[in-house]
Structure 1
Amino acid sequence: MTGIQHPFRLRLAKSRRLVVKVGSGVLTGADQRLNRVRVASLVKGLSSLVESGIQTILVTSGAVATGAPVMGLAGRTKTIPQKQACAAIGQTLLMALYEECFSTRGHHSAQILLTQDDVRSRERYLNARNTFETLISAGVVPIVNENDSVAVSEIKFGDNDNLSAEVAALVGADLLLILSTTDGLYEKFEPGQQPIPLVEQITNSHFDYAKDHLSPTGISTGGMKSKLMSIKKANQYGIAAVLAGGQKDDIIQNVISGKNEGTLFLPCEDKLSAREYWILHTLSPKGTLSIDAGARRALTEHGRSLLPIGITGVEGNFRSGNSVRIAGPDGIEIARGLTYYSSQEVVTIKGCKTDEIESKLGYRYYDEVVHRDNLVLII
């Protein structure tokens, strides 16, 4: 890939801490079985980072694909319990292969299995971060995967793209490198078309490019929307990201050396704080508060808190302290926040003035339903 080199590319070599995410499509062959040669090539690239002094974390898929042949399910449609069983078998085999490849290069790896609960809970979040820091300081490469064998929908990250963004934020990475079956983000796939070299800010038009389609190699890239959403999260936390072709030789070394590989996504200048990121991206909203035009202006233009008088509707079943969506009169979400009142309480006091809260409920915790300090705008 050629073209004018953006100055930010040269800064990648100065990255102190890097999270690399690799998908199953990169690690498996046409027979949907784990490709040991590709795993060895990946470990070669990761080892070069460690040897150059870059603290490296790997987020890997591939456990289900690794375990499927053992279960006699390679290439077959699987039920959720079958996928979980394949993951349970495959994770041990996958980690054994990673450790074998790392040890031949004089390094070691460690397994970290996460669910959403591990980052939603402040105590478990800190425990996970401390584990990462301890392993990294010992020169060990943490290898992260979702705990697929036990995770259910309520505590799943959804996919490893999302997991990689969460891990990048958790460890304070300088760069998130997502290795995919495509060479970057394309406006459209046509013969001779090159990936977009630079995205300064992800917009709706970029998500239009991410609609399901086939790459020039015939490999489905239906997960591009998920990748963009995850990259956007990382960018909002001030983390640069590169989306590049994981099947290329020396791709990791080429990216970190500043070569024009893949698509570079610049970090947001006005980054989210750790608390804002936690509210917006880590917590799972339990309901929605619909607000009127006046409340929308108060939140978006004047930086105010959300008062009950501006609330027109309540959806979901939530408790005090839960995360909720805040939607404008058109139904479009404009913010996320932590509510001081439960869904039943908000139903009772919506549309009321603050001095009417106590007469409606018999008590008053706060004047606000969502305080400005516990609210993050999306628009």
Structure 2
Amino acid sequence: MSAYRQAIRTARSVVVKIGTAALTTPKGVFDTNRLAELAEAIERRMRAGSDVVIVSSGAIAAGIEPLKLSKRPTDLATKQAAASVGQVALINAWSTAFARYNRTVGQVLLTAHDISMRVQHTNAQRTLDRLRALHAVAIVNENDTVATNEIRFGDNDRLSALVAHLVGADALILLSDIDGLYDGDPRKAPKDKPARFIPEVRGPEDLDGVIAGRGSRLGTGGMISKLSSALLAADAGVPVLLAAASDAATALTDASVGTVFAPRPKRMSARKFWVRYAAEASGVLTLDEGAVRAVVHQRRSLLPAGITAVSGRFYGGDVVELRGPDGTMVARGVVAYDHTELSTMLGRSTSELPAELRRAVVHADDLVPAIPRRTRAARAAQ
């Protein structure tokens, strides 16, 4: 067994993400029996000594039948209505399933905006930590009743990666309707050329030729979302296992199934993770070539002399994107000045500025290089 699978097998703190397809029948009906089976597998992991946080999809699917809808809605208002009804059924099903083991569940509804704002981010972290300390099972879901863009993309995959870092998890397990990562859709590949299974992803070379598809009729994530989220968590230092929900018992015990994603050797700090992945950028700073080299390759602070343009309305302490002359994002960071103040400083050397304006625009400690293009080889199916 590889060291990465061993790390997942022995992880004391685990986030388990369960996709919509894992909680519905082939006809798309919400299935409490499937949920109960998954709860049983998770209970065994918890009895073995692990803390588990569940990120559960399925709210919209659970609302389809009670609202007498014939299929998953496509318009935002009906999706939100289905989520409102389905969220009740979903959390009740989890509560009933874990009540058999004398466990209490707690519901935590989040949006990407909650994670992006530092105060809400910290409050969510505190709530999840306290639920675990009180031995309750946290059931996290995206707050689909108020989400807008979030409701259409990701099916909680990205949220699960963010939560894994939020709670300091030792592993992330993504359970869906497919048994791991392939270089194409195994259900659509011709018999004479079956899709190639990829048991382990250690670096970009393992993704050469991978074509990741989009969501299904009931779910919204698809393999492209799972792959992106697995790489996000791995880049933050969390090992990831992508496996079929039907293999949940094995995935949660010895981690011998599915595809494992190797984490970066050193875990990213909470602040830098927030800057790179979670925070919403409030503006853009365009840099000249010299500033790009200093920021990206020499890991130096950004000074006004290297900035050629400013866009957006931001204030000191906000996160901004740093882009090169061609518009490519090269880093993100926490800016020290308001947009109006910074606009008067462009291209000027530090010695030309008043003493109170001689600090770095973005300090090196608050700079995070852009996400490595590790997924360039893995493209979305059209």
Pairwise TM-score range, normalised by the shorter structure:
0.7 to 0.9
For residue 349 of structure 1, give the secondary structure of its aligned residue in structure 2.
coil
Q: 1:370 aligns with which of 351, 362, 371?
A: 362
Q: Normalized against structure 2, the TM-score is what? A: 0.87
Q: Which residue identity lines up with residue 371 of structure 1 in the other structure?
A: H
Write out aligned runs for 1:154-303 (5 A): 159-188=155-184, 189=186, 190=189, 191=191, 192-201=194-203, 203=204, 206=207, 209-212=210-213, 223-246=222-245, 248=246, 251-303=247-299
Q: C-alpha separation between the residues in 2 aligned to 1:19 and 1:365?
A: 44
Distance 1:213 1:63, change over 3 A: closer
Whether 1:47 and 2:50 are equivalent positions in the alignment is no
Q: 1:356 aligns with which of 338, 341, 352?
A: 352
Partner deviation per Cα, 1:348-367 (whole Å, 9 max, x = no partner)? 32222223344xxxx84443
Q: Which residue identity lines up with residue 149 of structure 1 in the other structure?
A: T
Q: C-alpha separation between the residues in 2 aligned to 1:282 and 1:214?
A: 23
Contact in 1 for aligned 2:332/2:367 (Cα 8 Å): yes
Q: Which residue identity lines up with residue 271 of structure 1 in the other structure?
A: R
Q: Which residue of 1 aligns with 2:64?
A: 68
Q: Which residue identity lines up with residue 340 of structure 1 in the other structure?
A: A
Whether 1:79 and 2:75 are equivalent positions in the alignment is yes
Moved more, 7-16 or 173-182: 7-16
Contact in 2 for aligned 1:292/1:312 (Cα 8 Å): yes
Whether 1:139 and 2:135 are equivalent positions in the alignment is yes
Moved more, 117-126 or 21-30: 117-126
Q: C-alpha separation between the residues in 2 aligned to 1:231 and 1:243?
A: 8
Q: Which residue identity lines up with residue 93 of structure 1 in the other structure?
A: A
Whether 1:15 and 2:17 are equivalent positions in the alignment is no
Q: C-alpha separation between the residues in 2 aligned to 1:312 and 1:270?
A: 34
Contact in 2 for aligned 1:340/1:365 (Cα 8 Å): no
Shift of 1:148: 1.4
Q: C-alpha separation between the residues in 1 aligned to 2:282 and 2:150?
A: 11
RMSD: 2.7
Partner deviation per Cα, 1:121-175 (whole Å, 9 max, x = no partner)? 4443333223222222332211000111123449999641111011111111011
Q: Which residue identity lines up with residue 18 of structure 1 in the other structure?
A: V
Distance 1:299 1:100, change over 3 A: same
Write out aligned runs for 1:98-137 (5 A): 98-137=94-133
Partner deviation per Cα, 1:256-296 (whole Å, 9 max, x = no partner)? 33353111001101331111101111101122212111111
Q: Normalized against structure 1, the TM-score is what? A: 0.87
Shift of 1:52: 1.2
Q: C-alpha separation between the residues in 1 aligned to 2:195 and 2:230?
A: 22
Shift of 1:177: 0.4
Partner deviation per Cα, 1:31-69 (whole Å, 9 max, x = no partner)? 222122211111111111111111111001111111122
Shift of 1:244: 0.8
Contact in 2 for aligned 1:110/1:140 (Cα 8 Å): yes
Q: 1:310 aligns with which of 298, 306, 314?
A: 306
Partner deviation per Cα, 1:80-118 (whole Å, 9 max, x = no partner)? 121111111110111111111111233232111122343
For residue 369 of structure 1, give the secondary structure of its aligned residue in structure 2.
coil
Q: C-alpha separation between the residues in 1 aligned to 2:72 and 2:125?
A: 37
Contact in 1 for aligned 2:19/2:57 (Cα 8 Å): yes
Distance 1:76 1:260, change over 3 A: closer
5+ long unaligned stretches in structure 2: 373-382
Distance 1:61 1:314, change over 3 A: same
Q: Which residue of 2 aligns with 1:342?
A: 338
Distance 1:320 1:204, change over 3 A: farther
Contact in 2 for aligned 1:197/1:260 (Cα 8 Å): no
Contact in 1 for aligned 2:215/2:223 (Cα 8 Å): no
Q: C-alpha separation between the residues in 1 aligned to 2:205 and 2:75?
A: 34
Q: Which residue identity lines up with residue 159 of structure 2 in the other structure?
A: L
Q: Which residue identity lines up with residue 171 of structure 2 in the other structure?
A: L
5+ long unaligned stretches in structure 1: none
Distance 1:220 1:126, change over 3 A: closer
Shift of 1:372: 0.9
Q: C-alpha separation between the residues in 2 aligned to 1:356 and 1:73?
A: 66
For residue 182 of structure 2, give the secondary structure of its aligned residue in structure 1.
coil
Distance 1:214 1:84, change over 3 A: closer
Contact in 1 for aligned 2:233/2:239 (Cα 8 Å): yes
Shift of 1:76: 4.6
Q: Which residue identity lines up with residue 197 of structure 1 in the other structure?
A: P
Q: C-alpha separation between the residues in 2 aligned to 1:225 and 1:161?
A: 10
Q: C-alpha separation between the residues in 1 aligned to 2:358 and 2:152?
A: 33
Shift of 1:200: 1.1
